[in-house]
Amino acid sequence: MPQRGKIWSKIDWLTAVIYLILLIIGWLNVYAAVYTESHHPLFDISTRYTRQFLFILLALFLAFSAILIEVNFYTFFAYVIYAFGILALAGVLVAGKEINNARSWYSFGWFNIQPSEFAKLAVCFGLAKFYSTFNLKTDTLRTTLIAGALIILPMLLILMQPDTGSAIVFLAFLIPMYREGMPPFILIIGILAGILFFLALILDKLTIILLLAVL
Partner 1 sequence: MDPFSNRKKFIIILAAAGFLALFGKLFYIQIIDSSYKVSAESNSQRIVTRYPARGLIYDRTGKLIVSNQAAYDVLVNPSQLQSFDTAALCKMLGITVDAARRAIDSAFRFSRYQPSEFVRQISVQEYAVLQEQLYKFPGFFVQPRTLRKYHTSGSSHLLGYVGEVDKSVIKKDPYYRMGDYIGISGIEKAYEEALRGRKGQEVLLVDVHGRVKGSFADGKFDRDAEVGEDLYTTIDLALQEYGEKLMQNMRGSIVAIEPQTGEILALVSSPGYDPALLVGRARAGNYARLAKDTLKPLFNRALMAKYPPGSTFKIMNALIGLKEGVIGTQTEFGCNMGIQIGGMFKRCHSHASPLDLRGAIQNSCNSYFFLTFRNIIENRNYKNSTEAYNAWRRYVMSFGFGKVLGSDLPNELGGFVPAEDYYNRYYGKNRWNAYTIISLGIGQGELGITPLQMANYAAIIANRGYYVIPHSVKEIENKTLERKFRERHFVAIDSSLFNPIIDGMQGAVNGPGTGTALIARLPNIIICGKTGTAQNPHGADHSIFIAFAPRDNPKIALSVYVENGGFGATYAAPVASLIIEKFLTDTITRPWLEQHVLNANLLYYNAPKRKNMVED
In the complex, the residues that contact partner 1 under the rule CB under 8 A are: 37-38, 138-139, 175, 178-181
Taking the least distance from each CB to partner 1, the nearer of 31 and 178 is 178
CB of 173 to partner 1, least distance (A): 13
Report the alpha-carbon distance of residue 174 to residue 169 in Å, rounded: 10
Taking the least distance from each CB to partner 1, the nearer of 6 and 39 is 39
Report the alpha-carbon distance of residue 166 to residue 124 in Å, rounded: 15
Taking the least distance from each CB to partner 1, the nearer of 21 and 63 is 21
The residues near 33 (Cβ < 8 Å, ≥ 6 apart) are: 48
> Does the CA dihedral 68-123-162-157 come out positive or negative?
negative
Taking the least distance from each CB to partner 1, the nearer of 98 and 139 is 139
- Alpha-helical (H) ranges within the chain are 4-10, 13-34, 48-68, 71-95, 115-131, 141-159, 164-169, 174-179, 184-202, 205-214
Q: How far is CA 75 from the centre of its chain?
A: 19
Taking the least distance from each CB to partner 1, the nearer of 160 and 187 is 187
CB of 25 to partner 1, least distance (A): 15
CB of 184 to partner 1, least distance (A): 8
CB of 198 to partner 1, least distance (A): 11
CB of 152 to partner 1, least distance (A): 21
Instruction: Please give the angle made by the CA atoms of 120, 95 and 154, to the nearest 5 degrees.
Output: 25
